[in-house]
Amino acid sequence: MYYDNFGLLRPPFQITPDTSLFFPDGDRQAILEGIAYALQKGEGMLKVVGEVGSGKTLLSRRLEETLPDRFSVVYLINPVIAARDILLAIATELGLPGCERLSPLELQSALQHYLMQLHAEKRQVVVIIDEAQAMPLQALEEIRLLGNLETATSKLLQIVLFGQPELDQHLDDPGVRQIKERITHHFVLRPFSSQEIRNYLGFRLHQTGYRGPEIFSYLAGRLISLFSRGLLRRVNIIADKSFLAAFASHSDRIRVEHIWAAAKDSNFIPRQLTMLKGGGVVLLLLAMSLVLLPRELPSLSLFAGTGGGGIYAAEHVGTEGYILPEPAQVDTAPLIEPTPAVEPATGALPMQQLLDQRLEQTRKLLASEQRPAFSIQILQAKGSYKGKLERLLKEEIPTALLDEIYIYPLRHNNGTLLTVLYGAFDSFAEAQQRLQALPAVMHRSSPYIRNFPKQHALQDGLVLRLAEHSGEGTL
């Protein structure tokens, strides 16, 4: 409904798990890599716990996609299954012929023989159980018995349990305490922070085709964090409905009133607050944003620790921003104006000379056959960007770093969209390291990691000249 109005190619905030929209921040990528590492080491049983809507199903689907080809993955999406049917479900998923006609003892023997055969072929079998907190205790015990299938050196069957916090309560039952002791690694999906949610919103929009300036106002993004409690399903619901509200009010930005309407419609606002209207809403939301959000709602966090040889929370590996996908490829070579080569700066330069130098270096890098993969975006502005750009280059970026600044103004909706990048990196890890090492003054603009643009992926053409005195970036 609103997709065309905002230049989107597909729904950005649908709640159906879509692994192409997997967001690596909030420790999700670190946890994904931790699970994959443990499985490749041959660990027998792992557990992942998160609140409703924290992204467990998406993470499990992403895990299934990213495991090496030697893994055969059995994905059980119906945990409310009788214990006697667990073996049959696994055998069926593995394609064991004639398994439905076997007795329980025959099935167990046939399954073990089949797993031995797969092991001889250097294959590993992983059973992923989603919503494991809904499993009957007898079924959990059957899972433990499956964990006993092993050779002298290797597990024949590895198990990953994904569940809500109630799963931990079930595992505390004395009748299944042996299962708890078999779990070697424990992971917790914590709620997202306010900044991570703002990054998530931008990431989703860019992944689904949006190429304009920031849609969500700063306060709107913080209110989504508050009303969603850091849970991605709630974020998606509020964001989707806020787009509908903005579309209905003919607004090109998501504002406070749109977030309020979306959260209220979704019953995410305490009842005593829903009676407020007009200015009372705005004042209350402003106060909530300024007072409550900086504390990041500690009572909602899933605290974790280590123990028993397990991992409760993987080391934080965040993007500090989102990675931009490349737009559809369009040949824009005729629009690129060649300019004379400029030697690197050897001290303070007049502003226009500095701009010309950085524009020329940007053109060279875009035209190179060995373009870098990542960069750090430190500014994006449209319209009257001249003052912002000069202030950035003169006051916020240290002189020693100017040789690593790349500038490209892009024709956009009869105007110019200016992007300023810092650095050119071949790996995400290198970009992340440089981002963390940026001077504090450069963090004022909330820099984030993104893909380095490609010359032929620029939608409307690169303009490699800025007018010396133009406040509008006239070509």
430 and 288 in a common domain = no
418 and 403 in a common domain = yes
- List C-alpha distances in Å: 309 to 11, 45, 65, 184, 401: 42, 13, 27, 6, 44
Quote the pLDDT of residue 240. 95
152 and 39 in a common domain = yes
Q: Are 138 and 175 in contact (CB under 8 A)?
A: no
- Check whether 233 has a pLDDT greater than 90: yes
Domain boundary residue, one of 133, 155, 189: 189
Residue 327 CB coordination number (10 Å): 16
436 and 343 in a common domain = yes
Q: Rounded distance, CA 192 to CA 54, Å?
A: 9
Domain boundary residue, one of 158, 189, 220: 189
Looking at per-residue pLDDT, the higher value among 322 and 224 belongs to: 224
Q: Which residue has the tokens 């060995």?
A: 370
Q: In the structure, what pLDDT confidence band is assigned to residue 286 with cuts at 50, 70 and 90?
A: low
The least confident of 35-39, 234-238, 304-308 is: 304-308
Average pLDDT over residues 289-305: 37
Q: In the structure, what pLDDT confidence band is assigned to residue 455 with cuts at 50, 70 and 90?
A: low
Quote the pLDDT of residue 11. 92
201 and 103 in a common domain = no
In this prediction, what percent of the chain has a pLDDT beyond 90? 31
Write out the residue range of the structural domain in which residue 420 sits: 333-457
Q: Rounded distance, CA 245 to CA 48, Å?
A: 36
Q: In the structure, what pLDDT confidence band is assigned to residue 263 with cuts at 50, 70 and 90?
A: very high
Task: Tell which residue, 293, 270, 266, 326, has the closest CA to residue 198.
Answer: 293
- Residue 313 inside a domain? The answer is no
Mean pLDDT of the chain: 77
C-alpha dihedral, 213 to 214 to 218 to 224, nearest 10°: 160
Average pLDDT over residues 290-303: 37
Which CATH number covers residue 444?
Answer: 3.30.70
249 and 133 in a common domain = no
175 and 40 in a common domain = yes
pLDDT in tens, 403-449: 999 987 766 556 677 788 999 988 877 888 888 888 888 877 777 77
Which CATH number covers residue 183?
Answer: 3.40.50.300
Average pLDDT over residues 127-132: 93
- Check whether 471 has a pLDDT greater than 50: no
The least confident of 40-44, 438-442, 468-472 is: 468-472
Domain boundary residue, one of 140, 164, 189: 189
The least confident of 11-15, 105-109, 279-283 is: 279-283
- Residue 466 inside a domain? The answer is no
- Check whether 474 has a pLDDT greater than 50: no
Quote the pLDDT of residue 119. 92
292 and 210 in a common domain = yes
242 and 182 in a common domain = no
Which CATH number covers residue 228?
Answer: 1.10.8
Looking at per-residue pLDDT, the higher value among 271 and 295 belongs to: 271
234 and 161 in a common domain = no
149 and 122 in a common domain = yes
Quote the pLDDT of residue 275. 59
199 and 171 in a common domain = no
Looking at per-residue pLDDT, the higher value among 282 and 85 belongs to: 85
- Residue 200 inside a domain? The answer is yes
pLDDT in tens, 173-196: 888 888 888 899 999 999 999 889
Task: Tell which residue, 321, 326, 319, 323, has the closest CA to residue 453.
Answer: 326
Q: Rounded distance, CA 132 to CA 115, Å?
A: 23
- Residue 215 inside a domain? The answer is yes
The least confident of 207-211, 252-256, 323-327, 426-430 is: 323-327
- Indicate the pTM of the whole model: 0.63
Average pLDDT over residues 234-238: 97
- Residue 15 inside a domain? The answer is no
- Check whether 467 has a pLDDT greater than 60: no
- Residue 305 inside a domain? The answer is no
The least confident of 13-27, 192-206, 240-254, 452-466 is: 452-466
How many domains does the structure of the chain reveal? 3
Q: Which amino acid is at 185?
A: H
pLDDT in tens, 74-104: 998 877 777 778 888 888 889 888 888 888 8
Looking at per-residue pLDDT, the higher value among 39 and 349 belongs to: 39
In this prediction, what percent of the chain has a pLDDT beyond 70? 76
